[in-house]
Amino acid sequence: MHAKRRLLSLYALALAIVTLGSLTSSALATRFSINNILVQSSGRLSFISSGATILCDVTLGVSFPSTFAKTVGTTIGTILLSGAGTTIANCPPALVRSVTFLNGGIVRYTGFSGTLPNITDIDYSGSSYRFLVDFAAASIGSCLYSGGLLTTKVTRNTVTGYLLSKIFSTTSPMGVTGGANCPPNGQIRGLMTVLGFPRLTLI
């Protein structure tokens, strides 16, 4: 009886040591690893300006390094250009002819939510992107918008580590260059699904 009780006590102690070691290791982890350096997400995004809303199907590509530091402000990726991982299609032809990303924004890590090691989402922000909107109305023509991303959340499955979805939103107002009739105060926002099940892990 005493031997069985002692065995159970040793087992409980060993389990506690393993669990504590795992939690300590996660807390001390200083980097993230991602198994896919090109992460794409898709969704129907809204371009909102001056009371009007334009909906387009967007596949957004972000290039990541294979690992990056778990440090606020670290550059962790770049939004890809149209034709190089990003596509914008099915905008209403009565309103716009095309929308094109001219240069991608730099993506920077800003934090996470959850309790280590169970990270529920990764937060990031970005800046310095530009996109060109070619409006159907001849009185408006082409308008060049520029700005940055608001802090954006990418949800993560705590069991598999897969990235699942993200909330995409730009700052408002954005800078605009073009004719006098270019709609001001534009903003892009929407919910996107992450494609291909990229896995994010602590290392």
For the stretch 93-147, pLDDT in tens is 999 999 888 877 788 999 999 988 899 999 988 777 788 999 999 999 999 988 7
pLDDT of 18 > 90? The answer is: no
Q: Residue 21 pLDDT > 60, yes or no? A: no
In this prediction, residue 194 carries a pLDDT of: 93
Domains of the chain, with CATH numbers?
31-202 (2.40.160)
pLDDT tens for 150-193 read 668 899 999 999 999 988 787 666 788 898 898 887 778 889 99
Rg (CA), the chain: 22
**What is the pLDDT, as a whole number, of residue 140?**
92
Distance of CA 172 to the CA centre of its chain: 18
Per-residue pLDDT band for 2 (boundaries 50, 70, 90) equals: low
Which pLDDT score, from 0 to 100, does residue 23 have?
43
pLDDT digit string, tens, across residues 40-92: 999 998 888 776 788 999 998 888 889 999 999 999 888 887 777 888 999 99
Q: What is the model's pLDDT at position 62?
A: 87
Q: Identify the band that residue 5 occupies on the pLDDT scale cut at 50, 70 and 90.
A: low
Q: What is the pLDDT at residue 6?
A: 54
Nearest to 124 by CA among 70, 194, 48, 160: 70
